[in-house]
Amino acid sequence: MTNSTCNARRGGVPPRLTLPVLAAVCLAACAGPAARSAAVPAPRAVAALPVQDEANALGIHVTALRLSAGGYMVDLRYRVLDPERAKLLLDKKTPAYLVDEATGLKYAVPNTAKLGRLRAGANNNIHTDRDYGMLFGNPGHQLKAGTIVTLVAGSVEVPHLIVQ
């Protein structure tokens, strides 16, 4: 009796079939996630940020306000239009937060032990040709896509921003 017939009688796979079976299992495992992700529908389009007054009180143009980090953070991206007015927002000592216009809840910039405040800062070197950003905490996933918020920095507000 050969070794391959002994394996077949014991319920094993003959050695000449091992490689094709192993290859089929690997292909099925690799194709599985791709097939599942292809079946997932694309995220629905959410209203873009409203048209903003180019000369708003903070001297910025908000380019994006998106949920991030699995919904636990809100990522604000903006471009400086007026460096003099934008100094307030870029000063890390000035408190900045989002206010949900429907509920009045405030969402602050986290201050971590190792990284400090999660926001861009520039003392005197403010550029109008680059994007700046800051992250706001969103505990409990209370802010959702489509929520309308106001950005507050010090005593200055930029109202009616839509979370994407």
Integer Cα distance of 48 and 46 in angstroms: 6
Helix, strand, coil % over all residues of the chain, rounded to 5:
30, 30, 40
Q: What pLDDT, on the 0 to 100 scale, is given for residue 52? A: 52
- Least confident range from 47-51, 57-61, 151-155: namely 47-51
- The predicted pLDDT at position 45 comes to 43
The CATH number assigned to the domain holding 84 equals 2.60.40
Which has the higher per-residue pLDDT, 28 or 76?
76
Give the ranges where the chain is alpha helix by DSSP (H).
3-9, 15-39, 83-90
Which of the listed ranges 31-40, 51-60, 85-94 does the model predict with the highest average pLDDT? 85-94
Same domain flag for 84 and 133 = yes
Is the pLDDT reported for residue 35 higher than 60?
A: no
Are residues 78 and 151 located together in one domain of the fold? yes
Instruction: Based on the fold, state whether residues 109 and 155 are members of the same structural domain.
Output: yes
Check whether 25 has a pLDDT greater than 60. Answer: no
Same domain for 26 and 79, yes or no, is no
Does residue 138 surpass a pLDDT of 60?
yes
- For 129, list phi and psi in degrees, rounded to 5: -105, 20
Residue 14: give the domain boundaries: 3-39
> Which helix (H) or strand (E) is 61 found in, with range?
strand 60-68
148 and 88 housed in the same domain? yes
Query: Shortest CA distance to 163 belongs to which of 139, 140, 128, 138?
Result: 138
- pLDDT tens for residues 106-127? 999 998 888 878 888 776 788 8
If one compares 128 and 123, the residue with the highest pLDDT of the two is: 128
pLDDT band at residue 89 under the 50/70/90 scheme: confident
Give the pTM: 0.65
Asked whether residue 84 carries a pLDDT value surpassing 50, the answer given is yes
How many domains does the structure of the chain reveal? Answer: 2
Q: Residue 125's pLDDT is what? A: 84
33 and 100 share one domain: no
Give the position of tokens 């520039």: 122
- 42-66 core/surface letters (b: 16 or more CB in 10 A; e: else): eeeeeeeeeeeeeebbbbbbbebbe
Can you tell me the distance from the alpha carbon of 156 to that of 60, in angstroms, rounded to the nearest whole number? 12
Task: Count CA within 13 A, CB hemisphere, residue 17.
Answer: 7
